[in-house]
Amino acid sequence: MQVVPFMITGFALNDEFIIWTRAMILVTILISYGLVTTVDGTFNTTRYKFWAFFWITSCMLGSMSWMHDGFLRKFVADHGTVISWVIVITMVVFTIKGQWSLAVDLFRHFMAGDKTLKRFRSQLPRFLMLFLPIPYYWFVPSQAAPVMGQDPVLITQLSGASGTLVVLLFSIVGMSIGLVRTMLGIRPRTREVQA
């Protein structure tokens, strides 16, 4: 979801770097999601195929609309500051709400002794895709309307990368605790279902 506002920003600023990096992030997210959520790493259900088709089609139609619709370009140009604020707020809320719950979930998963690394591995490309553009936007800010005096693209990159880093760190701590528990022979606590 966070890729779509970024792509809009890229088209609004006519910034090819933003457009191409967001397209690559979208492809990475779709592939990672397919690998993580299915047993054999394929898009084997109608639901997965639908959402992959939906996001790819939305990005294609969005870019075509941008090229041919003057009203859309004028709207984005006139409301650049509001759009920048909405993008930053959306990313920060997503980082706090979504990434925190994932971090806690993976921490508990590994602390309980589960050694499945699929969800952890999917965070590595996500972290790299969010972290690597940070130096670029630090030294070459985008032309987007500033938010709190800073480049909104840089703020959202920092927010996303920090959220993913928290997920990775919580996972590593959970793995370490789970490993120590296993070595000491401590069985993980299970929740009892009450009737």
pLDDT tens across 159-188, in order? 889 998 999 999 999 988 888 888 888 776
Asked, for residue 134, whether it belongs to a domain, the answer is yes
Rounded to 5°, the CA angle 11-58-162 comes to 65
Host domain of residue 148: 3-184
Distance CA 111, CA 100 (A): 16
Asked, for residue 193, whether it belongs to a domain, the answer is no
pLDDT, tens digit, 9 for 90 and up, residues 87-127: 788 888 888 888 888 888 888 888 887 777 777 877 887 88
Asked, for residue 129, whether it belongs to a domain, the answer is yes
Distance CA 174, CA 169 (A): 8
Asked, for residue 189, whether it belongs to a domain, the answer is no
Count of the separate structural domains present in the chain = 1
- With 80 as the cut, is the pLDDT of residue 19 above it? no
Asked, for residue 75, whether it belongs to a domain, the answer is yes
**Which helix (H) or strand (E) covers residue 133, if one does?**
none
pTM (2 decimals)? 0.71
